[in-house]
Amino acid sequence: MLDRSIRWRGLDPITLEHCHIISTERDTRIRGTIITPEYGLFYRIKLDDREHIRTLKLERTDGAVLELFSDGAGNWSDDRAEPLPALRNCSDIDIWPTPLTNSLPLWRTEWSDNQPQRFAMAWIDADEMSVVRQEQIYCRIDLTHFRFQTAEFERILEVDADMIVLNYPGLFERAD
């Protein structure tokens, strides 16, 4: 169970983020705000009792909105209830620009050191308000470090006891 606020500084580009996580036996609700050089972004994420994404809403200060819904089994739809077949079997979301969403697959998965696990993600670019499928690999190195990889990218993420990012080299660092 979580009930905590977290802040990060984005390093490239310079951003400031504040989010709050409330987790109960019934669900997990996350609300966050990010201030970037180009826009402000408010996001809301709701997870079910098994830590699967059910709803996501992004709202930018310029009025752009992106809303997605999942049945928790890898079937996605948009705010008009139109199916999104390109996201079929995506287990989680990854929102740019926040390190918070790196925690979502970590929370839901049983981990052993040096055993990589692959995830199909709905990768959301808040700069463009677009979403695409992206394959990601996480591998626990030890209790506080995970290797994160995509086809073009790799970082060693440092996490706290709640598996929330402390340091994402070159991109984010905890500010609280």
For tokens 């402390």, the residue is 166
- Domain boundaries, position 76: 3-174
Q: How many CB atoms lie within 10 A of CB 30?
A: 22
CA atoms within 13 Å, Cβ hemisphere of 106: 27
Q: Convert the pLDDT of each residue in 127-172 to its tens digit.
A: 999 999 999 999 999 999 999 999 999 999 999 999 999 999 999 9
Q: Convert the pLDDT of each residue in 66-90 to its tens digit.
A: 999 999 999 999 999 999 999 999 9
Could you give the number of structural domains in the chain? Answer: 1
Q: Convert the pLDDT of each residue in 12-62 to its tens digit.
A: 999 999 999 999 999 999 999 999 999 999 999 999 999 999 999 999 999
CA distance 37 to 43: 17
| Two structure tokens written together for 134 | 């992206």
The confidence score (pLDDT) of residue 145 equals 98
